[in-house]
Chain A
Amino acid sequence: GESVGLHLPTLSVQEGDNSIINCAYSNSASDYFIWYKQESGKGPQFIIDIRSNMDKRQGQRVTVLLNKTVKHLSLQIAATQPGDSAVYFCAESSQGGSEKLVFGKGTKLTVNP
């Protein structure tokens, strides 16, 4: 069935280090993937998205990698800053767009100064 899950519930890094947050999905029909950041008391904030016809996409300090063979998605954050501390969710859709996103449980990233 459709499910999106995360390998690690928490990740702690030092300021300036690179962070990698992983996500596994099980629906082979998934064709659109999004990473969201959620700070305490706020709604999910869009970070970056990727379609299944791509395997890598870069944004400002962030890179998303998609491995469809093993149904794995990762978010890389370069030079992690204290402001990056938040819960990160991956989400997927098998309907070609944002409708009916399936979210993972989240990884809490803590950046230590």
Chain B
Amino acid sequence: EPEVTQTPSHQVTQMGQEVILRCVPISNHLYFYWYRQILGQKVEFLVSFYNNEISEKSEIFDDQFSVERPDGSNFTLKIRSTKLEDSAMYFCASSEGRTDSPLHFGNGTRLTVT
């Protein structure tokens, strides 16, 4: 069964550093997403991406965040200057369409900011 893959599984970085989290969505999917889950808390929406542009973003997704689909298979989340409170699990997801298409999640990247 096709799946969403994320790398790395764990990323440790120092406060103020830039990180790039990588994702390979399911190949025939058209919608891509990033969610995050702070330890012990709810999964929170960050951003959705369709047709090479952001279609929706949350208030969490401020100017230090950016997303990119640099080629036909990868989807990345960049955090420009990490803060301690950015420590969380970051999940990438993709779906075939916008309606009647459940999200398929990757196994996440655990980001630890020290």
Listed in ascending order, the chain A residues whose CB lies under 8 Å from chain B are 32, 34, 36, 41-46, 49, 89, 91, 95-106
| Contact of A46 with B103 at beta-carbon distance under 8 Å, contacts A96-B98, A97-B97, A98-B98 already known | yes
Listed in ascending order, the chain B residues whose CB lies under 8 Å from chain A are 4, 31, 33, 35, 41-45, 48, 55-56, 58, 91, 93, 95, 97-108
| Contact of A101 with B42 at beta-carbon distance under 8 Å, contacts A42-B107, A43-B106, A43-B108 already known | no
Interface centre among A46, A49, A97, A106 (most CB of B within 10 A): A97
- State the CA gap A106–B97 with chains docked (Å): 26
Chain A residues near B56: list those with CB within 8 A: 95, 99-100
CB closest chain-B residue, reference A47? B102
Q: Count of A-B contacts with CB under 8 A?
A: 65
CB closest chain-A residue, reference B40? A105
CB closest chain-A residue, reference B46? A100
Closest 7 CB pairs of A and B: A43-B105, A97-B99, A103-B43, A97-B98, A46-B102, A44-B105, A43-B107
28 intermolecular pairs with C-beta atoms under 8 Å apart = A41-B107, A42-B108, A43-B106, A43-B107, A43-B108, A44-B43, A45-B105, A46-B103, A49-B102, A95-B56, A96-B99, A97-B95, A97-B97, A97-B98, A97-B101, A98-B98, A98-B99, A98-B101, A98-B103, A99-B31, A99-B56, A99-B98, A100-B56, A101-B35, A101-B43, A101-B45, A104-B42, A106-B42
Chain B residues near A104: list those with CB within 8 A: 42
Chain A residues near B108: list those with CB within 8 A: 42-43
- State the CA gap A36–B45 with chains docked (Å): 15
Q: Do B98 and A101 touch across chains, with their CB atoms under 8 A apart?
A: no
Chain B residues near A106: list those with CB within 8 A: 42
